Amino acid sequence: MKLQTLTIALGIVFLCIKYYEWHWKIVRGLYPNSPVLLKLPKGEILYFGLYYAMTGLHALHLIIDAKKIANYVLKTFK
């Protein structure tokens, strides 16, 4: 049970870090199809596209599975 709670806590930490990182990238104009990003070399455009796609999918995975784990933990107390 402790490991499940730790897993959820670390998932929340990851989401907080990514929120902070995404916020500052978006404020600086580094988001998909932004004028700032489109002026950069193609390799950097590809990097940021993959960065947003991969971290976005990972965040979605964390949200879904943290909810599942929380439900399992709560069921063990019933």
pLDDT at 77: 81
At 32 the three-state DSSP class reads coil
Whole-angstrom distance, CA of residue 62 vs CA of residue 55: 10
Identify the CA nearest to 3 among candidates 75, 74, 73: 73
pLDDT in tens, 18-66: 999 999 999 999 999 999 999 999 999 999 999 999 999 999 999 999 9
Q: Residue 60 class from Cβ within 10 Å (0-12 exposed, 13-18 middle, 19+ buried)?
A: exposed
